[in-house]
Chains A and B, each alone.
Chain A
């Protein structure tokens, strides 16, 4: 359902993505690991067009955007189409502080899809219940803990009914004791068959949940395989080194 062909992205002279190729089935949960600065975030941000790649093609569910295809109206529509089929969860939550938890979830369906308020609220409440926060519907982000905020952010992304969910280190900004409640929600999503790409440093989570693990290094996918292949029997020297480091840590 997702196909990425030869994605290249540079900032000035720095090549951050150096020809990434990736294919993913519907319902597959992919975890990306790799050292800091290797291009993981940039890869996710290219997938939902927060960044424009220099070259390469991205296809999600039949919608293809080729890099350098211009800034015309038609291309803009394609990009938004891609964006609409991918939901994104950020490391820093990025909840809208002026809106309640409920309004955070209903805002996009109302504004983007033109849903009625009552319709959007009904579904938002279901989603908040799903992430265990229906009692916090009226709370503002400042009144929520980090873990709660991230769970609202997940509900917010789900409200747009995306085909794939992109998570960029969703637990890195959280205190260790708050991480589980977020990981729990993500586990549940994976079990329900959501297509997911998760960038994370949670190795346990990767081992438990991933259908496939990608090891990023220097803007490329250096090694890919099942969790057992990557964690128990890595082929590349850099992968082994990386895993040693995170294990020590």
Chain B
């Protein structure tokens, strides 16, 4: 369940140094407490606040942690930590182990020692009740499919031929599924069991597939702690404590029986892919995603430029109520985060019957947000024109509007070209935020590919090159325009 797993965090963590030397099993026993790191935010059914008593944490990993601590002869205490920062926090020594749906993958193994698995997860396709087909990856080809950002599902090779949408949380993907914005959701089975199973509008489509293991993450040098935990998991599997916990939480299936016979070699060792060498396979995917970034940025910026002009004209030259409205718009938009605005447009508006698709919501969100900045740019530009200019125009008999249109705006345009260009280039990069409303643009595609190939460097270079290749011409164009519009050539 590696949602909220950001490439950047992994990158940083990859270079951070494990500073711990001593074996911590001794220390844990002396302390009498096993500190386990996890993220309870949106963490059902792993570890999450009890809906009835929100100050109490529940979930199968809570029970597991207690059982494990019991085997070590100590108590368990959960330490809250953002999910994508768990490994750096472990390395920093904030807690003793990570127990939070950490997948046993070659990549995680490079950074931390992984215990033997305590749970076998798999992928599940979820569709609307009335949908037909879509029971396997093959049948999802070309369909719009939602996955959790950074999840194991988002790394499935088969999904690359789908119209892939990524979500920051579980609730949003099912909401979009029910709203017919997407056709299916693919996700870790435990999450599906918790969120989708009880939902009468949804159904499991086909059997679970692509199994994998959750294990406990431990600092590499804590070898005796690793041995003790492996021993404890083995015992919990054999004395059927695991089975009891999973049945109680509704997470038991026949796969879990294999936990007893697990051999470490079952997980293939890290195979590194050089995406640079295999660029013909990856570059087109990045470029397709870049096309979305470009399309989105250009249309949104065009909207911002025009809407900003309307706003500033209303603000500076119109009658009282409209003037206040324009001013309020600028203040409100600038005073609230873009993220919230996008959430409102995409997830909020459907509640009052307005269903925008992700691209349209992205354009509106970015465009209307930047419109406020452009309006401010224009206002600064207009007010930088000396008052003698409008006096001269008025003295020649021009009306207010003619003065604005023929004298003020043409001069203000030249003043605002540099800040507007800067905003345009910023928008290129800001546009990656639309990934929160499920769009897969360039940065998101980089994240998806990097997490499935582990080649952060090669893909990172390609992605950076594409961004640069897009924004550099924009700034060249701006320079050229600035020069061309200078009064004296």
B-side contacts of A86, CB under 8 Å: 395
Within 8 A of A (CB), among B441-463: none
How many chain-B residues does the 8 Å CB contact rule pick out?
20
Residue of A nearest to B412 (CB): A98
For residue A3, give the distance in angstroms from its CB to the closest CB of chain B.
Answer: 20
A-side contacts of B487, CB under 8 Å: 97-98, 140-142
**A95 to B411 CA separation, bound complex (whole angstroms):** 12
> Quick one: CB contact mask for B375-401 with A, threshold 8 Å, 1 for yes?
000000000001011011111111100
B395 touches A83 (CB 8 A): yes
**A97 to B407 CA separation, bound complex (whole angstroms):** 9
**A98 to B411 CA separation, bound complex (whole angstroms):** 6
A-side contacts of B393, CB under 8 Å: 96, 108
B-side contacts of A199, CB under 8 Å: none
A200 at the interface (CB under 8 A from B): no
For residue A105, give the distance in angstroms from its CB to the closest CB of chain B.
Answer: 10
A9 at the interface (CB under 8 A from B): no
B-side contacts of A97, CB under 8 Å: 411, 487
B402 at the interface (CB under 8 A from A): yes
B-side contacts of A153, CB under 8 Å: 392
B411 touches A111 (CB 8 A): no
A-side contacts of B402, CB under 8 Å: 111-112
A108 touches B391 (CB 8 A): no
Within 8 A of B (CB), among A122-143: 140-143
B397 touches A84 (CB 8 A): yes
> Quick one: CB contact mask for B396-439 with A, threshold 8 Å, 1 for yes?
11110010001100110010000000000000000000000000
For residue B457, give the distance in angstroms from its CB to the closest CB of chain A.
Answer: 49
B398's partner among A92, A94, A108 (CB-CB below 8 A) is A108
Residue of A nearest to B413 (CB): A98
B268 at the interface (CB under 8 A from A): no
A38 at the interface (CB under 8 A from B): no
B397 touches A50 (CB 8 A): no
Counting chain A CB atoms within 10 Å of each CB, the highest count among B397, B398, B410, B487 belongs to: B397
**A142 to B386 CA separation, bound complex (whole angstroms):** 15
> Quick one: CB contact mask for B472-489 with A, threshold 8 Å, 1 for yes?
000000000000000110
A-side contacts of B406, CB under 8 Å: 107, 111
B396 touches A156 (CB 8 A): yes
Counting chain B CB atoms within 10 Å of each CB, the highest count among A48, A87, A111, A156 belongs to: A111
A-side contacts of B411, CB under 8 Å: 96-98
B397 touches A80 (CB 8 A): yes
| In the complex with contacts A98-B410, A107-B406, A112-B388 CB distance below 8 A | no
For residue B389, give the distance in angstroms from its CB to the closest CB of chain A.
Answer: 6
A96 touches B392 (CB 8 A): yes
**A107 to B403 CA separation, bound complex (whole angstroms):** 11
| In the complex with contacts A92-B388, A98-B411, A50-B395 CB distance below 8 A | yes
For residue B371, give the distance in angstroms from its CB to the closest CB of chain A.
Answer: 25
**A153 to B406 CA separation, bound complex (whole angstroms):** 17
| In the complex with contacts A98-B487, A107-B406, A50-B396 CB distance below 8 A | no
| In the complex with contacts A98-B411, A98-B414, A141-B487, A112-B398 CB distance below 8 A | yes
A160 touches B388 (CB 8 A): no
| In the complex with contacts A96-B407, A98-B487, A142-B488, A50-B398 CB distance below 8 A | no
> Quick one: CB contact mask for A60-103 with B, threshold 8 Å, 1 for yes?
00000000000000000000100110111010101111100000
**A84 to B388 CA separation, bound complex (whole angstroms):** 18
| In the complex with contacts A90-B388, A94-B388, A160-B488 CB distance below 8 A | no
A87's partner among B391, B395, B407 (CB-CB below 8 A) is B395
For residue B481, give the distance in angstroms from its CB to the closest CB of chain A.
Answer: 14
For residue A88, give the distance in angstroms from its CB to the closest CB of chain B.
Answer: 4
Counting chain A CB atoms within 10 Å of each CB, the highest count among B386, B394, B396 belongs to: B396
A210 at the interface (CB under 8 A from B): no
A50 touches B391 (CB 8 A): yes
A-side contacts of B392, CB under 8 Å: 88, 90, 94-96, 153
B-side contacts of A50, CB under 8 Å: 391, 394-395
A94 touches B397 (CB 8 A): no
A80 touches B395 (CB 8 A): no
For residue A218, give the distance in angstroms from its CB to the closest CB of chain B.
Answer: 25
A88 touches B389 (CB 8 A): no
| In the complex with contacts A98-B414, A98-B487, A48-B395 CB distance below 8 A | yes
B396's partner among A92, A98, A108, A142 (CB-CB below 8 A) is A108
B-side contacts of A48, CB under 8 Å: 395
**A156 to B395 CA separation, bound complex (whole angstroms):** 11
B488's partner among A95, A112, A140 (CB-CB below 8 A) is A140
> Quick one: CB contact mask for B97-118 with A, threshold 8 Å, 1 for yes?
0000000000000000000000
Contacts beyond the supplied A90-B391, A111-B406, A112-B398: 11 A-B pairs with Cβ under 8 Å: A50-B391, A50-B394, A83-B397, A87-B396, A88-B392, A94-B386, A96-B389, A108-B393, A140-B487, A157-B395, A157-B396
Can you identify 21 A-B contacts, CB atoms within 8 angstroms?
Answer: A48-B395, A80-B397, A80-B399, A83-B395, A83-B397, A87-B395, A88-B395, A90-B392, A92-B388, A94-B389, A94-B391, A94-B392, A96-B392, A98-B414, A107-B407, A108-B393, A108-B397, A108-B398, A111-B402, A157-B395, A160-B396
Nearest first, the 9 closest Cβ-Cβ pairs linking A and B are A94-B392, A108-B396, A88-B395, A94-B388, A84-B397, A112-B397, A140-B487, A140-B488, A142-B488
